[in-house]
Amino acid sequence: MQGLMQNQPLLISSLIDFAERHHGDAQIVSRRVEGDIHRYTYRDLAARSRQLANALDGLGLAQGERVASLAWNGYRHMEMYFGVSGSGRVLHTINPRLHPEQIAWIVGHAEDRVLCFDMSFLPIIQAVHAKCPTVKQWVALCDADKLPADTGIPGLVSYEAWIAAQNRQYDWPQLDENTASSMCYTSGTTGNPKAVLYSHRSTVLHAYAAALPDVMCLSARDSVLPVVPMFHVNAWGIPYSAALTGCKLVFPGPAMDGKSLYELMEAESVSYAAGVPTVWQMLLGHVKPNGLRFSTLKRTVIGGSACPPAMIAAFQDEFGVEVLHAWGMTEMSPLGTLCTLKNKHLQQSRDEQMAVLQKQGRAIFGVDMKIVDGDGKELPWDGKSYGDLLVRGPWILDTYFKGESPLVKDEQGRGWFPTGDVATIDADGFMQITDRSKDVIKSGGEWISSIDIENIAMAHPAVAMAACIGMPHPKWDERPIVAVAKKAGSEVSREELLKFYEGKTAKWQIPDDVVFVEAIPLGATGKMLKTKLREQLAGYVLPGVA
Ligand code: AMP
């Protein structure tokens, strides 16, 4: 027997319709590329998204065709999130930090037909446009009078001139909810990047889940600053969850240094912020030495790479800001787990609670996870056994765009996505990442977690960033060393740092050496690039190894 409830597709257009109707006057504030602050409401966002949809119709763009963005977090980018996907086209958010050659490659692979870019990226477009034959329309996300006369890009229009004359009414199509809505290429540390193609259904389900109290906990009372870029996994889904909750949104534009972020937070009474550890490192690096306080910030979600415990402690103990440690992947829309305490933890000591909060957290309803050994056998949830982390769920990738399905089948024939992460899961279901599988250090048959080693170094006051890698060793197979970038003006010696490890980890896990570097190489999404670090350290030999 079938249920007798209304069968309505889950569509991104319904999010913007809802926001307009129920939170029409809630504010969206953006720092623009020009440096000024732009302010409008969800009502304006909805109307302009419809104008954009009409402009795409005007180009004769068919449903399913790709419209690319190369843009910072801002209101025009947000309009693309709804105007492009809502009208049945696919929004392809491109990471501007990729190498121009790689940008040209993914534009061709995605077969982008329109590409809208912030003026900061004009030089990239000037360099690659001739290599992007699929693009029929180039759009500069700026006012008509900000468009330089002679860019060399054929047919370039300003976004404002392009949408100005368009009708503010538009009937969003009633699409099948499994229709593709947006796409994002993975950072791709090896080979060419792979594209994840999200659907309306996966996006709306993820938006619901992300807003839950034990997930990102977003509400109409919040003022939310997504520092996590809209070009990286849809800013962790915040644009969609924002429309669903009607929170105030504050977009940082290109200014992501500590001072600019702090000033924006204070000026716009930001209560909630989201970003990767490297960004928060810069924020704390501004706030602490200047003796500043956060007057409204209550919670921050930190993910994308392991959040060092020292950072969690700094936010919580020094500033009273709650840290939500999150784990996810481009292939997972991206949220998989978030770390919040359970009722039973409330009676525990601060130290016991901190031990829980350092983990990557509990699975969100919708995400099923397990850890398996090398033979695919499931491992116990005892907080000690570690193995390859596999996940499944309705907002998790099945097959890459124009590519293969990486899923592995279980005995019931269900497909699981292998995350490439190595993790433990404790009896309460808290997952902790110990490594990317390729970064695990194997010493004398035992595994050493590079994240653990990095976290200890990061707790030293003179250390800005630390990356631990394994180096070949004739007896132990591999031994860890830690590459350290010092904070400006701070000093620490190799010996002091090695001493700092004593008592904080098993003796055999203490790195064999400390190598000081100017900076730890970062990839396009702010994650440490250990492959690059290895290249930089080519020829390095461990102390005592001939
Ligand atoms: P991406 O698809 O570029 O977002 O990268 C996903 C990968 O980032 C994951 O597979 C993890 O290796 C890493 N990652 C994301 N969040 C965390 C976290 N909280 N702790 C440790 N690693 C993380």
Domains of the chain: 12-255 (3.40.50.12780), 443-536 (3.30.300.30)
Cα(229) to centroid of ligand 1, in Å? 15
Q: What does the pLDDT read at residue 476? A: 85
The pTM (predicted TM-score) of the whole model is: 0.92
Mean pLDDT across 92-109: 94
- Out of 232, 302, 327, mutate this one to test ligand 1's pocket (max ligand atoms within 8 Å of CB): namely 327
Cα(525) to centroid of ligand 1, in Å? 10
The ligand 1 atom at the shortest distance from the C-alpha of residue 360 is 19
Closest Cα to atom 21, ligand 1: which residue? 306
Q: What does the pLDDT read at residue 189? A: 52
Closest Cα to atom 6, ligand 1: which residue? 329
Mean pLDDT across 314-320: 96
Mean pLDDT across 293-306: 95
Contact assessment for residue 157 and residue 166, using Cβ atoms and an 8 Å cutoff: no
Q: How many other CB atoms are found less than 10 A from the CB of residue 101?
A: 10
Q: What does the pLDDT read at residue 525? A: 78
Distance of alpha carbon 29 from alpha carbon 252, whole angstroms: 9
Residue 9's pLDDT band, with cuts at 50, 70 and 90, is very high
3-state DSSP helix/strand/coil % of the chain, to nearest 5 = 30, 25, 45
Chain-wide mean pLDDT for the chain?
95
Active site residues: 186, 331, 442, 447
Q: How do residues 343-390 score in pLDDT, each as one tens digit?
A: 999 999 999 999 999 999 999 999 999 999 989 999 999 999 999 999
Instruction: Identify the CA nearest to 435 among candidates 277, 327, 275, 341.
Output: 327
Residue 520's pLDDT band, with cuts at 50, 70 and 90, is very high
Q: Which helix or strand (DSSP H or E) is residue 79 part of?
A: helix 75-86
DSSP strand pairing (408-409 vs 415-425): antiparallel
Answer with the residue of higher pLDDT: 149 or 70.
70
Distance of alpha carbon 64 from alpha carbon 178, whole angstroms: 12
Distance of alpha carbon 85 from alpha carbon 243, whole angstroms: 14
Residue 97's pLDDT band, with cuts at 50, 70 and 90, is confident
Mean pLDDT across 402-427: 96
- Out of 184, 329, 362, 391, mutate this one to test ligand 1's pocket (max ligand atoms within 8 Å of CB): namely 329
Residue 75's pLDDT band, with cuts at 50, 70 and 90, is very high
Distance of alpha carbon 72 from alpha carbon 265, whole angstroms: 17
Distance of alpha carbon 525 from alpha carbon 228, whole angstroms: 9
> Which residues approach ligand 1 with their CB closer than 6 A?
186-187, 233, 303-307, 325-330, 334, 360, 419-421, 433, 436, 525
Q: Which helix or strand (DSSP H or E) is residue 128 part of?
A: helix 122-128
Q: How do residues 29-38 score in pLDDT, each as one tens digit?
A: 999 998 899 9
**What are the residues whose beta carbons fall under 8 Å from the beta carbon of 191, sequence distance 6 or more?**
none
Q: What does the pLDDT read at residue 237? A: 98
Residue 544's pLDDT band, with cuts at 50, 70 and 90, is confident
**What are the residues whose beta carbons fall under 8 Å from the beta carbon of 355, sequence distance 6 or more?**
none
Mean pLDDT across 271-287: 94
Cα(524) to centroid of ligand 1, in Å? 13
Mean pLDDT across 70-91: 98
Three-state DSSP state, 172:
coil
Distance of alpha carbon 226 from alpha carbon 72, whole angstroms: 11
Q: Is the peptide bond before 334 cis (omega within 30 degrees of 0)?
A: yes
Distance of alpha carbon 199 from alpha carbon 197, whole angstroms: 7
Distance of alpha carbon 151 from alpha carbon 169, whole angstroms: 33
Answer with the residue of higher pLDDT: 158 or 503.
158
